[in-house]
Structure 1
Amino acid sequence: MGREILTVAETVSNEKGVSREAIFEALEQALVAATKKKFYEGTNSEEARLRVEIDRKTGDYTTFRQWEVVADEDHEMPACQDAISDLDPTKCSIGDIRELEVESIEFGRIAAQIAKQVIVQKIREAERALVADAYASKVGELVYGEVKKQTKDGFIIDLGDNAEAYLARDEVIPKELLRPKQRVSAILYEVNREGRGAQLLLSRAKPAMLIALMQKEIPEISEEIIEIKAATRQPGVRAKIAVKTNDHRIDPVGACIGMRGTRIQSVQQELNNERIDVVVWSDDPAQYIASALEPADVSGIVIDEDARTADIIFATSDQLARAIGSQGQNVRLASDLTGYKLDMMLEEEYRARQQNETQKYLDMFVTRLDIDEGLAMALVEMGFTSFEEIAYVPAETFNEIELDVDTVELLQSRAKEIALAEALQQQENIQEPSPELLSMEGMTQEIAYALASRGVITIDDLADQATDDIADIDGLGAQKAGQLIMKARESWFN
């Protein structure tokens, strides 16, 4: 019996390339399963804990049954647990494992059958581990294989050396036909070490595929003379790739395209004739965006770096249409490539929008700061778009519009009051106080918004209040609260 086990371990280890130790462990698991099936089949067969130990030199084995020592209140599974009160506390403690040698099953037909199943599973796991180890360092690289078969959702690709990969239909270039026995290249984007599902996952549609092909076809990229900064694709239709030269003597676009386009054509053919735009990367966002929108000519760009948005201005509708591209391809890819949301418009549209925005800020400053239109226009022309900006810039900022110290102080005081009120409204998510309440004699915007945070929106709401209800508001107090309430109640008597 021992010799038979040694023979099995040696033979399987040599044939399958799995270590003898892994085979012995698989045999021990199989003997445990077979012993349970023969001697412990019944209501508590799953609860019984067994251990089989094979002598690695002789092949002989011994079987042990195990019980865990637990507290009395946790003694719920007698088949594999011992209550501490039933044992000698000087010889064991909670958490110990008590073992007892039991009868061993013969290594017969049932044990051999179970052993075969366990060993096959171990072999599969070992083979998956070997494949995973072999390809883990190749993630992000091109791999080559042959289409072995087509499944419902994709293709099995034979990579050779007993390695198979999975190319999902979603990762194939649209309208691309792959047939059995056809040679194909793809990017390896993931190695799945789990026991379920495909192990090596391939893609021909991800931007990484384009990057890998460019590295393969263009020596300057593999030599790091030219650096790829970003890439985006609409697979099978169009792609954009941003490059930067580390040697000012080399034109990165020309090097990527090659003489008469030979280099870029090789990449395009591999990608089912996908059109590829090579863009010069720049650390200046405006210049980078303009390059990404080529072949359109941009007249102007207004960028908001914090919001990652940009207004792109064009002189003619033809240039605007060229920038947008067929079904929005060009602008969508340019946006993905640069990381900016792009808003495209003609010059007249931009001017009209600017006029509307200017008028909006002009009206806002005139109404809420209570200043004349000339001063409001001066503030707009200086670039102010919020009360917070006006409130907290250094006072000397206003020197260019020749305001005296008292006027600057009053202007910033009003702006600060409004900014604080707006912040309070936003923080409390309250309603706007009514215009009548805001314009009431003795009312300030800060107090009005503080009242609104308590549901006092209109003059009638204020008239319904008692002095004690609102006296604790900052800047108010009992006396002024009483005066405002009486002022609000005048409409009742009138």
Structure 2
Amino acid sequence: MAVSANRLELLQIADAVAREKSIDREIVISAMADAIQKAARSRYGQETNIRADINSKTGEIKLQRLLEVVDNVEDDATQISLEDAKKRKPDAEIGDFLSDPLPPMEFGRIAAQSAKQVIVQKVREAERDHQYEEYKDKVGEIVSGTVKRVEYGNVIVDLGRGEAIVRRDELIPRESFRYGDRIRAYVYDVRREQRGPQIFLSRTHPQFMAKLFTMEVPEIYDGIIEIKSVARDPGSRAKIAVVSRDGSIDPVGACVGMRGSRVQAVVNELQGEKIDIIPWSPDAATFIVNSLQPAEVAKVVLDEDAERIEVVVPDDQLSLAIGRRGQNVRLASQLTGWDIDILTEQEESENRQKEFAKRSKLFMEALDVDEMVAQVLASEGFASIEEIAYVDPEEISSIEGFDEETASEIQQRAKDFIDKQEAELDKKRKKLGVSDELRELPGMTTAMMVAVGEDGVKTIEDFAGYAVDDLAGWRERKDGETQNFAGVLTPFDISRADAEAMVVAARLKAGWMTEEDIHNEDHQEADEEAKAETPDETETPAE
């Protein structure tokens, strides 16, 4: 290879490489120029600053030596004094570069080999960059490829312009692939790594099934039907929640298709996975009841703060509601995002009786009344001593068998009990050394002060160091199961909003933040919410 090589041939090589590797022609020409620069340095000296330019239209190569204009010359090979530079270029300044043309040169065998390595390396890097840019935009899409090889259960897939991997745990159980098999999978991650872009595919990802339905059901692709959520037990069973934006179109029927043709196409791709298509509802209770199909539900009790629900089913429906190895209730929980407790009617009745007995006993001990009076109060719906103490007296006197005098006496006993408890708690609070200042925080009670004191918090500064999770608790979802972690004030049924108000008030009192900081944060959150609500007008094309 020589600098005086056929110029047309040089451009033809660049065009051929660019087409073969699907990269920009200019990148190949730039790689050639870098290779020529490296080879020229081996001829003129590594310390020499040489620049090679290749004209992308004519193929003409220019070699130049660059000299930097400096005050004091330390290296004649790369620098020139300002005085000498002005002789060649009157307007030269410190930091400018002057160029000297170099004559064409023949490459030796070693120089040519070195130049080839530079070109190969640059082209490979450009090819990897191109692959990464192409596939990073395909995250969340389904791609098709051919099985190239199987290594330790992992399937390496040839996508045409790159390689991808389906790890063993991302394959549907009991399915196997051989060399040359066609495979469809969901792109869930693309990473730029030293050895090139790594494309990770999955056939177990919930969105793989959602994308298959999008391809099979035109109404989903057109946006008439929306997939709200998906839950899968890969290879066994799945649930998908759908809703129609057009009242005249049944979302479940559209997904099933004529004689089940549409859902069957998805089932076949998923190796026979059974799919329950669930109508989504904005009402949480209705949606949860639907998600437990085919089991029938008798009653539901929601705890919205904890996102937990008790579902009561007839005795003969219990095994159907839970499913084999808990599969049905587990998938329903994943689909809805709620923790679901399944109870039979008999279990629910027993729980009610236990709760009734517990409240009756509390009222007997706290109010010093007989069992009958305590049971009457419990059956009327009173759940705590505080409710009895501070409710309108008429609510108690209106109970059959009670008069105003009885109601007044019961309320006085309730208040005396609360005062006695408060005194005991305050004594304990002082013993723990909890500051009176904490009582000024919104919603703070003496019982709460004892709880934080037992947690080692005694001053406003101590309390200001709490995070909301520390007080109200938090939830983590792992392997489809939700785990609840209690906070210091969880026993007091404190909401996250109340916990946040306490922490903010403590930080204001401690001087950690100002009202202006809160105002700015509120504005920032409002801006972010506005951005999130702005509809995305871009539409993903069909595969």
Q: Same fold (TM over 0.5)?
A: yes
Q: 1:263 to 1:414 in 2, by over 3 A?
A: farther
Q: Is the 8 A contact 1:279 1:291 kept in 2?
A: yes
1:401 alignment partner AA:
I
SS of the equivalent of 1:60 reads: strand
Residues in 1 aligned to 2:62 and 2:45: alpha-carbon distance in whole angstroms: 22
**Residue of 46, 61, 79 corresponding to 1:59:** 61
The equivalent of 1:349 in structure 2 is 347
> Structure 1 residue 233: deviation in Å?
0.7
The equivalent of 1:446 in structure 2 is none
Q: Is the 8 A contact 2:302 2:308 kept in 1?
A: yes
The equivalent of 2:111 in structure 1 is 111
Q: Is the 8 A contact 2:232 2:331 kept in 1?
A: yes
> Structure 1 residue 236: deviation in Å?
0.9
SS of the equivalent of 2:321 reads: helix
Q: 1:375 to 1:21 in 2, by over 3 A?
A: farther
Q: 1:101 to 1:251 in 2, by over 3 A?
A: closer
1:384-423 equivalences in 2 (<5 Å): 390=387, 395-396=390-391, 399-402=394-397, 403-404=407-408, 407=412, 410=416, 413=419, 420-423=445-448
> Structure 1 residue 359: deviation in Å?
3.2
Q: Is the 8 A contact 1:166 1:198 kept in 2?
A: no
> Structure 1 residue 54: deviation in Å?
1.5
Residues in 2 aligned to 1:4 and 1:26: alpha-carbon distance in whole angstroms: 16
Q: Is the 8 A contact 1:146 1:183 kept in 2?
A: yes
> Structure 1 residue 235: deviation in Å?
0.9
- Count the aligned residue pairs: 398
The equivalent of 1:144 in structure 2 is 144
Residues in 2 aligned to 1:68 and 1:385: alpha-carbon distance in whole angstroms: 88
Q: 1:324 to 1:133 in 2, by over 3 A?
A: same
2:15 alignment partner AA:
N
The equivalent of 1:10 in structure 2 is 11
1:172 alignment partner AA:
L
Deviation track 1:280-326 (CA, whole Å, cap 9, x = no partner) reads: 1112222111111111111222221211222222221x311111111
The equivalent of 2:31 in structure 1 is 26
> Structure 1 residue 399: deviation in Å?
4.2
Q: Is the 8 A contact 1:298 1:313 kept in 2?
A: yes
Q: 1:410 to 1:29 in 2, by over 3 A?
A: farther
Residues in 2 aligned to 1:30 and 1:158: alpha-carbon distance in whole angstroms: 31
Residues in 1 aligned to 2:384 and 2:44: alpha-carbon distance in whole angstroms: 84
Confirm or deny that 1:273 pairs with 2:272.
Answer: yes
Q: 1:242 to 1:38 in 2, by over 3 A?
A: same
2:126 alignment partner AA:
A
2:199 alignment partner AA:
L
Q: 1:286 to 1:64 in 2, by over 3 A?
A: same
The equivalent of 1:242 in structure 2 is 241
Confirm or deny that 1:121 pairs with 2:116.
Answer: no
Q: Which moved more, 1:121-130 or 1:342-351?
A: 121-130
1:151-300 equivalences in 2 (<5 Å): 151-160=151-160, 162-196=161-195, 199-300=198-299
User: Larger C-alpha radius of gyration, 1 or 2?
Assistant: 1
Q: Is the 8 A contact 1:378 1:401 kept in 2?
A: no
Residues in 1 aligned to 2:392 and 2:107: alpha-carbon distance in whole angstroms: 94
Q: What runs of 5+ residues in structure 1 fail to find an aligned partner?
A: 42-47, 70-77, 80-95, 432-494
Residues in 2 aligned to 1:166 and 1:421: alpha-carbon distance in whole angstroms: 59
Q: Is the 8 A contact 2:128 2:196 kept in 1?
A: no
Q: 1:164 to 1:319 in 2, by over 3 A?
A: same
> What percentage of residue pairs aligned between the two structures are identical?
38
Q: Is the 8 A contact 2:244 2:250 kept in 1?
A: yes
Residues in 1 aligned to 2:378 and 2:50: alpha-carbon distance in whole angstroms: 86
Q: Is the 8 A contact 1:51 1:66 kept in 2?
A: no
Q: Normalising by structure 1, what TM-score?
A: 0.67
Residues in 1 aligned to 2:26 and 2:419: alpha-carbon distance in whole angstroms: 82
SS of the equivalent of 1:192 reads: strand
**Residue of 369, 372, 380 corresponding to 1:372:** 369
Q: Is the 8 A contact 2:128 2:197 kept in 1?
A: no
> Structure 1 residue 175: deviation in Å?
0.8
Residues in 2 aligned to 1:194 and 1:300: alpha-carbon distance in whole angstroms: 53
The equivalent of 1:130 in structure 2 is 130
Residues in 2 aligned to 1:68 and 1:206: alpha-carbon distance in whole angstroms: 62
The equivalent of 1:336 in structure 2 is 334
The equivalent of 1:82 in structure 2 is none
> Structure 1 residue 6: deviation in Å?
6.2
Q: Is the 8 A contact 1:232 1:337 kept in 2?
A: yes
Q: 1:177 to 1:103 in 2, by over 3 A?
A: same
Residues in 2 aligned to 1:295 and 1:259: alpha-carbon distance in whole angstroms: 21
> Structure 1 residue 341: deviation in Å?
1.6
SS of the equivalent of 1:360 reads: helix
Deviation track 1:67-86 (CA, whole Å, cap 9, x = no partner) reads: 999xxxxxxxx99xxxxxxx
Q: 1:423 to 1:366 in 2, by over 3 A?
A: farther
Residues in 1 aligned to 2:225 and 2:173: alpha-carbon distance in whole angstroms: 30
Residues in 1 aligned to 2:40 and 2:52: alpha-carbon distance in whole angstroms: 14
Residues in 2 aligned to 1:10 and 1:136: alpha-carbon distance in whole angstroms: 31
